[in-house]
Structures are given as structure tokens and as C-alpha cells.
Structure 1
Amino acid sequence: MTEITLDIAKQLVDTAEEKAEEIDVPMCIAVMDGGANLVAFQRMDDALLASIDIAQNKAYSSVSLKLDTETIWEVSQPGESLYGLGNTNDGRIVTFGGGIPLEVDGRVVGAVGVSGGSAEEDVSVASAAVEAFESL
């Protein structure tokens, strides 16, 4: 598998939604392919409206930088090598957890972005989708 198809993206969204329901936090869930094209998106009932863009931008950040957004946060802190990174790409780079790249044989083929809870909650939901991807 080297591309993120709609079928795969739907499976990842479903898995993420199940995890979000388990922790009782409504989320927005985005799945992008390796070219940062949105393949699937879902906003759960009562998820924050702001989370629509944030979830998509987390996926964009992860696929375009080939890093999870937690790592992006670490390297973009004051005094770090990429301080100010969050101000690039017309503000699309997100510097807090919830975006994780999807990899096949060490190559980034897409990303998942999740928003709606705390950064820790977003990471747990995105991680569930990544684990599902890795088991395909």
C-alpha cells in the first residue's frame, strides 16, 4: 500500500471516531494523502467549529513536514532551531499535538489530523487511527 485511498481514509476516520467516543470528546478528524490533499474529513456532533480548520491543518503540517505536530512543537519553541515555524505557510503549520504522519516503509504517504480536545486527547485519537493504518 503506497497511497491513501478513500476506503483507507474512511477506516481511519471510523477508528478515530470510536476512540473519540470512548473518551467522550467530540472531534474533527482529517486524513490527507502524501500530496497534502484532503481525502476524508468528519466533524462529530458538537465538535468545536474552530477544530475544522485545526484538524485539517494538523494533517497538512504532518504530511508537509514529515513530522508529528508534537515534534513540530518541540523544535519551534523559543531558542530552538525552528522557532517561528508556526507563522509560515499562511499560518497552516500547527505546533501542538494531534497531527501524525502515515508511513509505509519509512516514507510518508499521508497524515491524520485530529482536533477537539486537549492536545493529549487529540494525540490519543490520532494515534488510534495511525495504529489502524499500520495494521492494514
Structure 2
Amino acid sequence: MSHPIAAGVRPLRAPEADELVAVARSEAEAAGIAVSITILDAGGNLMAFRRDENAVLISGETSTRKAFTSVQLGSPTADLVDLVQPGALFHTLPTALDRPLLFIAGGVPLHRDGRLIGAIGVGGGAPDQDSAVALAAAAALA
């Protein structure tokens, strides 16, 4: 379930992905947390990845799954957490599909001219910290 980029909308470029990682690293450092950062394009393909040497190893997987979930559903993962709780609309979604989805805050879609061009995922801190780092980086995208 990819989101094609509309004609005329410039896709996410490698230098931008690198800049997103740099901004996220700076935000995480300022918050005193060691994280992994994943940048995906609109098709869910890896554009950039960085794990701080002190980040827990699983953070690499969680950052990637958060970014993938965000790009697939076009929404911040923080906004999806309640939708997968028992009795909620998407309760079975995490187990219904053979996809690496993760419904924990820290994944944020990236947009240009109102179109989805990718996503950033951050893992390693508390969910609200990961989300704040991802949102700050996404806001820096020109």
C-alpha cells in the first residue's frame, strides 16, 4: 500500500534525508536520549538510518517500524495508538497483516506541497520523546 507521489511534487532526496537525521540527532542529544533514526521514502524504501552508539539495539528495529507504519498509513504513529487498543477500529490491524507495523509514538509522515513524500521514525527514548524528536525533524524539512 504505497502512496505514489503526484506529478510535480519533488520526492525526498538523499541530502534531505541526511539533514533530517542530523536535525533528529541534535534534538535527541539536547533531550539527553540516545536514539535510532530511520528515514523512508514514500514507497517505504530506506533513505537514511543512524543508530547512536549508546542507543539500545532494538531501537533500530522500532525506528524503522514506526517510519514504515507512518508512511503506510500517512499518519503520525502517536495518532494511531488508541485505534489499535481492544475494541477500537484497528484493533486487529497489527496482527492481521504480515507487515512490520508498530503503533508506538515516534513515527511521523513527511509532506511536501500537501503530498506524502516519506516518513521519519525515531526509537530509543520514551514514546513521547521519540515523537518530539521526529516532529522537530519533520518540521525542519524545507
Gaps of 5+ in 1: none
- Specify the alignment match of 1:27 in structure 2: 35
What is the distance in 2 between the residues matched to 1:37 and 1:56? 10
1:68 maps to 76
Cα distance, 1:88 vs. partner?
A: 3.9
Q: Which has the higher helix share?
A: 1
Aligned: 1:56 with 2:64: yes
Unpaired segments ≥5 residues, structure 2:
1-8
TM-score, length basis structure 1: 0.94
Identical positions, percent: 35
Report whether the alignment pairs 1:38 with 2:46. Answer: yes
Deviation at 1:91, TM superposition (A): 5.1
Distance in 1 (alpha carbons) for counterparts of 2:137 and 2:96: 27
Q: 1:1-136 maps to which residues of 2 (within 5 A)?
A: 2-90=10-98, 92-133=100-141, 136=142
After superposition, the Cα gap between the structure-2 partners of 1:30 and 1:86, relative to the gap in structure 1 and judged at 3 Å, is same
Deviation per CA, 1:45-74, whole angstroms, max 9, x where unpaired?
210100111101111000011111112212
Find the counterpart in structure 1 of residue 6 from structure 2: none
Structure 1 stretch displaced more, 99-108 or 115-124? 99-108
